[in-house]
Amino acid sequence: MAATCEISNVFSNYFNAMYSSEDPTLAPAPLTTFGTEDFVLTLNNQHMSPEGPVGCVGPQTRSQRDRTEPPAVLHLAEKASWTGERPQFWSKTQVLDWISYQVEKNKYDASSIDFSRCDMDGATLCNCALEELRLVFGPLGDQLHAQLRDLTSSSSDELSWIIELLEKDGMTFQEGLGDSGPFDQGSPFAQELLDDGRQASPYYGSSYGPGAPSPGSSDFSTSGTDTPQSSHSSDSGGSDVDLDLTDSKVFPRDGFPDYKKGEPKHGKRKRGRPRKLSKEYWDCLEGKKSKHAPRGTHLWEFIRDILIHPELNEGLMKWENRHEGVFKFLRSEAVAQLWGQKKKNSNMTYEKLSRAMRLILRHLMRERIEIYSSAPLTLGHSFFPCATKVN
């Protein structure tokens, strides 16, 4: 599926542009572990087998983890690979990085880009006429052409341009309340940031910290065991930030009778396999509606956005080894709660989230291996967005 590869490239290069200034290196054997706190997910593909994770995937033990070097903290301010050189001297990888950056920056639909035609170095790119760029990139071609012209014409402006770029990024980020900035529509943060101008989650900004939820924010704890609230949001009027604490964390998972198997409530059954024990009963009492997340919010996007905005999610996840594609759940249940919040599913747990991630990874490994083998491997290529089908 070519589009898949393209999207993968986009994320790969966006990740690289955002975080890395070095050439990507091939990674060692893949390792996935979706477990409890401190467990590590490694999504590398060099040795991925079509059979899935069996034999090449396994948990990283605490002792193994303890031996790892403390990961460097990565920030948005780190320069993209292409920022240090003139476009004429860009490598193919740098060209891809730059294109991916522009795609992201302009919120352009990458699925419409034929990335197979992007296999060119900087010199070739600079020789592309506007029409050619339009042909390959559509409306984005104009933007690329203008940017290229600026980059190539001002020899002395390079540094200032980089600074400007970084400032822009920073500004966009800070102005995220008005313009989603680095967050795309599918970002787990977009709506929260837009929502009434308040911190949507205690995990963001300065207000959150381990065990330190904001006094003014919707107050759910990492463990979800304290401060029960009656914010039983409905899909019709509630915001994403509403977190239903009548979930299994507050009320024991098996503490309530479930609706009878196959017995629909209000015509439609809830998403997913019916719960064996009925929380639905309580949902009925509380006037809850069915929960479903709007299309366009995928788990991989959610995870990606957490990872690429470390300044926002500090304490939730972090890169363990970016080049090897290893990231770490620092507060797994909190991530799950946030995901559940996004999907309006107060029953989300890390167990379920990790199951979904395993499925994504498996799907990825089964169907994308041929893509990986023909593409330069970087973290992003092994990052799991590729499981998404694009028209």
Partner DNA sequence: AATGAGTTTCCTGTTT
Partner DNA sequence: AAAACAGGAAACTCAT
Single-letter amino acid code for the residue at 59 = P
Q: Binding of DNA at residue 70 (CB under 7 A)?
A: no
In the structure encoding, which two tokens stand for residue 358, read together? 């395993």
The 8-class DSSP code of residue 204 comes to S
Which helix (H) or strand (E) covers residue 13, if one does? Answer: helix 2-19
Q: How far is the CB of 387 from DNA (least distance, A)?
A: 5
Q: Binding of DNA at residue 243 (CB under 7 A)?
A: no
Q: How far is the CB of 266 from DNA (least distance, A)?
A: 9
Per-residue x/- mask for DNA, residues 255 to 284, rule CB under 7 A? ---x---x-x---xxxxxxxxxx-------
Q: In 10 A of CB 278, how many CB atoms?
A: 18
The 8-class DSSP code of residue 31 comes to B
Q: How far is the CB of 330 from DNA (least distance, A)?
A: 12
Q: Which one, of 65, 103, 17, lies nearest residue 321 by Cα?
A: 65
Sequence-distant (6+) residues with CB within 8 A of 100 are 9, 10, 11, 12, 13, 14, 16, 17, 110
Q: Binding of DNA at residue 211 (CB under 7 A)?
A: no
Contacting DNA (CB under 7 A), which of 9, 13, 20, 33?
A: 33
CA torsion angle 301 176 6 365 (round to 10): -20
Give 92 or 358: the residue with its C-beta nearer to DNA: 358
Give 36 or 124: the residue with its C-beta nearer to DNA: 36
Angle, alpha carbons 377-380-385 (nearest 5°): 125
First and final C-alpha spacing in the chain: 10
Segment contacting DNA by CB under 7 A, of 8-16, 123-131, 135-143, 382-390? 382-390
Q: Which one, of 277, 287, 391, 358, lies nearest residue 31 by Cα?
A: 358
Q: Binding of DNA at residue 238 (CB under 7 A)?
A: no
In the structure encoding, which two tokens stand for residue 322, read together? 């970016």
Segment contacting DNA by CB under 7 A, of 69-77, 79-87, 94-102, 358-366? 358-366
Segment contacting DNA by CB under 7 A, of 29-37, 100-108, 207-215, 304-312? 29-37
Give 32 or 94: the residue with its C-beta nearer to DNA: 32
Contacting DNA (CB under 7 A), which of 245, 299, 371, 377?
A: 299
Residues of span 39-68 touching DNA by CB under 7 A: 39, 52-54, 57-59, 61-62
Q: Binding of DNA at residue 185 (CB under 7 A)?
A: no
State the number of binding residues for DNA (CB under 7 A): 56
Sequence-distant (6+) residues with CB within 8 A of 310 are 73, 74, 75, 76, 318, 319
Q: In 10 A of CB 285, how many CB atoms?
A: 10
Task: List residues binding DNA (CB under 7 A).
Answer: 32-36, 39, 52-54, 57-59, 61-62, 258, 262, 264, 268-277, 290, 292-295, 297-300, 339, 343, 345, 347-348, 351-356, 358-360, 362-363, 387-389, 391
